Structure 1
Amino acid sequence: MKQAWLAVVAATGVLCGSAVFADQGKDQPKEKLFLMKAAQSQQGEIELGKMAKERAASDQVKQFGQRMIEDHTKANQQVTQLAKQEGVELPEGMTAMQKEKAQKFSQLSGKEFDKAYIRYMTKDHRQDVIEFEQSAKEIKDQDVQQWAQQTLPKLKEHLEIAKTIGATLGVE
């Protein structure tokens, strides 16, 4: 009986501990989380754009990579300035997932790289559009909301370009 009780207490402790860790993000204001995620997204797009310029076979993909570098460098400067204004400390570098993607892409070149990169850019920009649309509606801070709204058309444009290149390359 005593062992069964200890098992219940231990299981409850594990579940409560998991809930505490899962809930940590909820304590952060939406604006702060959005800015942090947006900054890392910009940094990832820049690094992957550099890879595209070096490893792609298609001129379209190389040009798209260059565009990612230019547009996301500008967006990164904007989000950095906005974060300073809002008192938000931004993370440096790419996320673990972006680093993992970059590692996988570093093993590819030519047409194989082109397809993988464009497939990822399409998926990533589709997700970015959803997140920016949602944030533009939900965020209360006017400056952050305005930046999300101003950045959204560029992200949609990137998505359309990636889809067009993907169709040319035969990417599903």
Structure 2
Amino acid sequence: MKTIQTLTSAVIAGLLSIGAVPTMADDDTMTGTDMGDATRTPGPTGTPATTGQGGSASRAGMVTEPNYPQGVSAVTFIEEASEKNYTIINAAELALEKESGVAEDPQVREFAQQMIEEHRRLNHKLTELAAQEQLEVSGSAALMDRAQRLVLEVREGDSFLEVYANNQVADHQALIDLYERMANTEDGEVSRFAQNALAELEEHLELARDLHPQAHAERD
């Protein structure tokens, strides 16, 4: 029987700590690729985890063939980036729980704490940008609903660390793809924010790759 750990409580805690995003009607439809419709599903231990974005994360922590459209609007960028930030924060909170079995690992603990702090800060900036640019983006209730669909699943027999590392690689590669598309537009402050944040996200991606059990073994 498989064991599934959900991030529902962490989603609520993350949203309360971050604050609400400027609102629009919850039944409004988001344009562009809806990252919230993806479900991250780990393969058996030692096999790639799917990203839900048309690519997969390998044992080496690579993601192939992302499935984003070539262009992205400022509204779509802010919504999708905010949602992905929530899922990264929630997964980090789950990793820090005793039940995860990896909370005492100094490298995992440091990484998870860094993800919580830095992705909360990124979301604060996205909220400010939406208000500054007078963009109507989904409110916290709609973002919570979409974030709840991105569930980190750990099946019986799987390594939590491998599943967590694979999903962090996939999540950060997806964010980098999204930020690069925004950075290549001429959308003023939002485009500049995306350009300036890329280096930080690329650093996160490398840290996520280093979390993988295979990387642990190579260092040991």
TM-score by length of 2: 0.57
Picking from 107, 124, 128, the partner of 2:175 is: 128
In the alignment, is residue 154 of structure 1 matched against residue 200 of structure 2?
yes
Q: CA deviation at 1:168?
A: 2.4
Matched, 1:65 2:131: no
Q: 1:24 to 1:168 in 2, by over 3 A?
A: closer
The structure where helix makes up a greater share of residues is: 1
Where in structure 1 are there 5+ consecutive unaligned residues? 1-22
Q: CA deviation at 1:95?
A: 5.6
2:95 alignment partner, one of 42, 52, 55: 52
How far apart are the structure 2 equivalents of 1:67 and 1:24?
A: 30
Specify the alignment match of 2:67 in structure 1: none
Tell me which residue corresponds to 2:51: none
Instruction: Please report how far the alpha carbon of residue 114 of structure 1 lies from its aligned counterpart in structure 2 after TM superposition.
Output: 1.2
Residue in 1 that maps onto 2:131? 84
Q: What displacement does 1:100 show?
A: 3.9
Unaligned runs of 5+ in 2: 1-28, 33-71
The structure-2 alpha-carbon separation of the partners of 1:101 and 1:116, relative to structure 1 and needing over 3 Å to count, comes to farther
Counterpart of 1:25 in 2: which secondary structure?
A: coil
Alignment counterpart, residue 119 of structure 1, candidates 166, 172, 175: 166
* Cα distance, 1:131 vs structure 2: 1.4
Note the C-alpha offset of 1:102.
3.2
Aligned residue among 147, 151, 164 for 1:102: 151
**Alignment match, 1:36:** 79
Name the aligned partner's letter for residue 106 of structure 2.
D
Aligned-residue offset at 1:134: 1.5
Q: Which amino acid aligns with 1:114?
A: L
Q: 1:90 Cα deviation (Å)?
A: 3.6
* Cα pair distance change 1:116/1:24, threshold 3 Å: closer
Contact 2:184 2:191 in 1 (8 A): yes
Alpha-carbon deviations, 1:87-128, whole Å to 9, x = none? 2234424464x42443625x779x821110110001111121
Counterpart amino acid of 2:85? Q
Higher relative contact order (CA 8 A, sep 6+): 2
> Is contact 2:84–2:171 with CA below 8 Å preserved after alignment?
no
Using a 3 Å threshold, how does the CA distance of structure 1 residues 118 and 25 change in structure 2: closer, same or farther?
A: same
1:53 deviates by 1.2
Q: Deviations over 1:8-49 (max 9, x none)?
A: xxxxxxxxxxxxxxx9726xx711111111111111111111
Identity rate of aligned residues, in percent?
26
Indicate if the aligned counterparts of 1:40 and 1:91 stay in contact, CA closer than 8 A. no
The structural deviation recorded for 1:56 is: 4.5
Residue 31 (structure 2) aligns with:
25
